[in-house]
Amino acid sequence: MKVVFTEIPDVLLIEPQIYGDERGFFYESYNERVFLEKVGRSFHFAQDNHSRSIKNVLRGLHYQIEQPQGKLVRVVVGSVFDVAVDLRKSSTTFGQWVGVCLSAENKHQLWIPPGFAHGFLVLSEYAEFLYKTTEYYAPQHDRTILWNDPDLAISWPVQDEPIVSAKDKVGKLFSEAEVYQ
């Protein structure tokens, strides 16, 4: 397993070792011992989530102000542009974002530690997105930042207006959002 530091060093791109031949492929999508070694801290994963979305669906930017969730995310069908935004006010990268392409083809994963907002845009005809979370979903603590906030200026690779949920359409501006100390 290869770990690549992104522009925000706490957000890690994980490239698994793929073993393939004419029959197909195999790889470890998660190994607690290796994760601890590479991330430098052990996390308990409380929940696994699986979503399927059609092309041009944009989900996010979501976070929980209490019970913040770390997320280990990957795509098993299709491709997405995945984004993490640092909401940790004490961080030197506060308000910065990182975006990567995750796909069934590249099998990359992204580790997004607690304290970040997260979102993704589906680039393929549809995508299936899997993620492990370090905390349970807590709707009372769920928050949303507008995906197109001008202060964040995320370079989403979108050509048409994305398909966004009602919840995501009324997200807060970054300047008005609750953040972590």
Question: What confidence tens digit (pLDDT) does each residue in 17-34 have?
Answer: 999 999 999 999 998 888
- Count of structural domains, the chain: 1
And the tokens for 68?
A: 């913040």
Q: Which residues are catalytic?
A: 62, 131
The ranges of the chain with pLDDT < 50 are none
What pLDDT score does 140 carry? 98
The H or E element that residue 131 is part of is strand 126-133
What pLDDT does 47 receive? 96
Confirm whether 181 is domain-assigned: no
The domain in which residue 28 lies consists of: 2-176
CATH code for position 46: 2.60.120.10
- The alpha carbon of residue 42 and the mean position of all alpha carbons in its chain are separated, in whole angstroms, by 19
Q: Structure tokens of 33? A: 């011992």
Q: Using alpha carbons only, give the angle 151, 155, 159 rounded to the nearest 5 degrees.
A: 125
Q: Which helix (H) or strand (E) holds 33?
A: helix 32-39
- Tell me, yes or no, whether 118 lies in a domain: yes
35: in domain: yes
Please state the pTM of the whole predicted model.
0.94
128 assigned to some structural domain: yes
pLDDT recorded at residue 39? 83
In a domain, 117, yes or no: yes
Is residue 160 assigned to a domain? yes
Q: Which two tokens stand for residue 101?
A: 């392409």
Burial class (CB in 10 A: 0-12, 13-18, 19+), 5: exposed
- pLDDT tens digits, residue range 23-65? 999 999 998 888 888 888 888 999 999 999 999 999 999 999 9
